[in-house]
Amino acid sequence: MTFGRYPAGGLAFPHRDLLGIAQLERHEILYLLDEAEPWVDLNRQPSKHSDTLAGLTIINAFFENSTRTLLSFEIAGKRLGADVVNMHAAQSSVKKGETLIDTAITLNAMRADAIVIRHGSSGAVDLIASKVDCPVLNAGDGSHEHPTQALLDALALRHALRERGEAAEDFTGLVITICGDILHSRVARSNILCLQALGASVRLCAPPALMPAGVETIGAEPFHDFDAALEGADVVMMLRLQNERMQGQFIPSAREYHHLYGLTLERLKRAAPDALVMHPGPMNRGVEIDSEVADMLDRSIITRQVEMGVAIRMSCLDILTRRTRGVEGWT
């Protein structure tokens, strides 16, 4: 296999780490998506094993709760043939007062070949990356970034559009409405950057208290009226209220929130007739999204997002370890 130097002789993916979408160029995002395609195919076979990362050790260090992200990074590493070890902060020396930097130095001394980190503080993953010698992948840091989520969302959307015969290299011309707790959402931040890099127009909808200031400066269109934000949208991405990041009361009640910002079947009619529905999970059914919308077979791509999560993480782990593995063209 040859690895194209792209574009103009540069490496297709010149970064050691995957810390955020903010550091990526459009062609690098597309490269990560394109390289996930063979893994999508492999993951649909009965036998899903590859030896690509045989002999390598991957540590998943999760300092915050996770179901989808941790499991899919673990499955991704194992399907690539790596030895995968999960470190749960609740059972680690973090509880004994060890600093983040000492934890990073400890993981580094064990000679991991890639470290995947989720942490509750924005910037914690960048800090660890500066202290270790191997590639670091951000699995979500505070309210900052969650790059693999945005990449898997883009891959899921690309597949759904392709199946409808709307194949396009990118999302130029698509209107995508992201609604929910934008203020605390790393998923929203990474998705805004990723979707815009791929040509989409992004509308953001939240109650005033959950909308970050100055979103217009990054080219997103802010709304407080969900009906207006939905008008003619091609894709609707719903987000959970991140209660764990809220200090104090941001919304009057879940009932009131659902009334104004919950995605119901009735409300979805305002979007384009075949608009797709997305959610990164975990969902709070009956709060930000109704079950009859979340479970729509022809419109909801929520389970496809989960499927694409494994493939995109395989793509990221493969690409980021190519230098270590001495792959031709990457050393």
CA 1 to chain CA centroid, Å, is: 28
- Residue 278 lies near ligand NCD (rule: CB under 6 A): no
Q: Which residue's CB is nearer to ligand NCD, number 148 or number 321? A: 148
Out of 61, 119, 280, 288, name the contact with ligand NCD by CB under 6 A: 280
- Residue 245 lies near ligand NCD (rule: CB under 6 A): no
CB of 69 to ligand NCD, least distance (A): 4
- Residue 140 lies near ligand NCD (rule: CB under 6 A): yes
CA 38 to chain CA centroid, Å, is: 19
Alpha helices in the chain (DSSP H): 26-43, 68-79, 100-109, 124-129, 147-163, 186-197, 226-230, 254-261, 265-268, 291-294, 302-320
Residue ranges in 105-134 that form contacts with ligand NCD under rule CB under 6 A: none
Distance CA 183, CA 174 (A): 23
CB of 279 to ligand NCD, least distance (A): 9
- Residue 69 lies near ligand NCD (rule: CB under 6 A): yes
CB of 263 to ligand NCD, least distance (A): 15
- Residue 187 lies near ligand NCD (rule: CB under 6 A): yes
Q: Which residue's CB is nearer to ligand NCD, number 92 or number 284? A: 284
Out of 149, 196, 201, 300, name the contact with ligand NCD by CB under 6 A: 149
- Residue 68 lies near ligand NCD (rule: CB under 6 A): yes
Please spell the DSSP secondary structure of 158-226, one letter per residue: HHHHHHTT---SS-TT-EEEEES-TTT-HHHHHHHHHHHHTT-EEEEE--GGGS-TTGGGGTPEEES-H
Q: Return the bridge partners of 137, or none.
A: 18, 116
- Residue 186 lies near ligand NCD (rule: CB under 6 A): yes
- Residue 146 lies near ligand NCD (rule: CB under 6 A): yes
Burial (Cβ within 10 Å: 0-12, 13-18, ≥19) of residue 11: middle
Q: Which residue's CB is nearer to ligand NCD, number 81 or number 281? A: 281
CB of 2 to ligand NCD, least distance (A): 34
Sheet-wide strand order for 136-141: 83-88, 57-62, 114-119, 136-141
Give contact residues for ligand NCD (rule: CB under 6 A): 68-69, 140, 146, 149, 186-187, 240, 242, 280-281
